[in-house]
Amino acid sequence: MTPAARAMAPVFIVGGPRSGTAWLYHLLLSSGGFAVFLAESGIFNRLGPRFGDLSVPSRRARLLDVWLPSEEFRQSGLDAATFRRTVHERCRSTGDLLRLLMEGMAEQQHVSRWAECSPENLLRVDAIKQSVPDALFLHIVRDGRDVACSLARQTALRTAPDSESSGMLRSALYWEWMLRRGREQIRRCGPDAMEVRFEALVAQPRETLACIGAFLAHDLDYDRISQHGLGTVREPNTAFATDASGLLFRPVGRWQRRLSVRRLARLEAAVGGLLEELGYALYTDDVARQRVRSDVRFKRSLAQACFSSWHWLRTRSPLGRMFSSRKAPDSLTGDEGARVSPAPRKHTV
């Protein structure tokens, strides 16, 4: 891809649950030059699987009947009747639909570029690249132990007080399952994908943004981003308490403050292999992990089979269209099922 083409290419921000995808997305939007859309389109991860081949006019019509009244589409600011006509005339695939939405917003906002942020798209990188050949991917990676703390904590806020404890291992296993599948697809993108570490973005935002900017051929000026901060850049959204100034917002290494040695040993026995592959040092020793390994091994196998079955059902089976309008059930991620047109979600770290 030439530098000129890279400077115009669409950007897809993907990552595991609670890995900072929304924050990275809002950093890009705050830099200027990108169409501002503070919602998840759901086009590739919900609408595409549900409605299938959009070269069929009747399927396009059904999709639009469901999607145009949604909060996501309303946030685009586009005229529904005009967009419906454009889709019927020019849309023949899921990638076409996303381009028409984003390019419509970019034109309306007088900018030249757009980015899309739906974390679950990490599992659909191959499909996106096939449908949007010039796509660039930013894959943000976060320590799975911190992901487990955040994901289990958010679940506990909605359910029983002991849910945080019972959901910690399940959350870590879902992080591992998603990253292993997603990173295989990211690697196939070669120079069109970049891995970004959440911890580096927190500790060295100026330097990390400069590297991302070089990859995207886009000026990510840290001072300008800080001044014009949008969304979570200006106001971090977290499941953990902060004071009025946000000084207690410390998303890196939270697991060191929240996890007992026994619970940490269970997590590291389950997902320690991927943590080490990613360069995260383990805290517990082999003896501590060995004590819980047999119990964790069974639960890990069961969870992996459950995650894979759910994903296959949504994307490959004839019943997939019945289930693709839902997120993974609470037995997998802690999220309640969501309709195809939920209100914009708050992103927590």
CATH number of the domain bearing residue 29: 3.40.50.300
pLDDT tens, residue by residue, 283-326: 999 888 888 887 888 888 888 888 888 787 777 655 555 554 44
Q: Flag whether 146 is in a domain.
A: yes
Instruction: Tell me the per-residue pLDDT of 230-265, one tens digit each, with 9 for 90 and over.
Output: 877 876 654 444 444 443 457 888 898 888 888 899
What DSSP string runs through 335-347?
PPP--SSPPPPP-
What is the reported pLDDT for 321? Answer: 54
Type of residue found at 83: F
Q: Is 197 within the bounds of a domain?
A: yes
User: Quick one: tokens of 6?
Assistant: 């890279």
> Does 137 reside within a domain?
yes
Alpha helices in 31-162 (DSSP H): 48-51, 57-67, 71-76, 80-90, 94-109, 125-131, 144-158
Quickly list H helices, the chain: 3-6, 21-30, 48-51, 57-67, 71-76, 80-90, 94-109, 125-131, 144-158, 163-188, 198-203, 205-216, 222-227, 254-258, 261-277, 286-315, 320-323
| Alpha-carbon separation of residue 131 from 19, 95, 124, 134, 181 (angstroms) | 25, 5, 11, 9, 19
> Which tokens is 293 given?
């390994």
Q: What is the pTM of this model?
A: 0.84
How many domains in the chain?
A: 1
Q: Range of 28's domain?
A: 3-34+113-323
179 lies in a domain?
Answer: yes
Most confident of 48-57, 133-142, 169-178, 298-307: 133-142
CA dihedral 5, 125, 70, 64 (to 10 degrees): 80
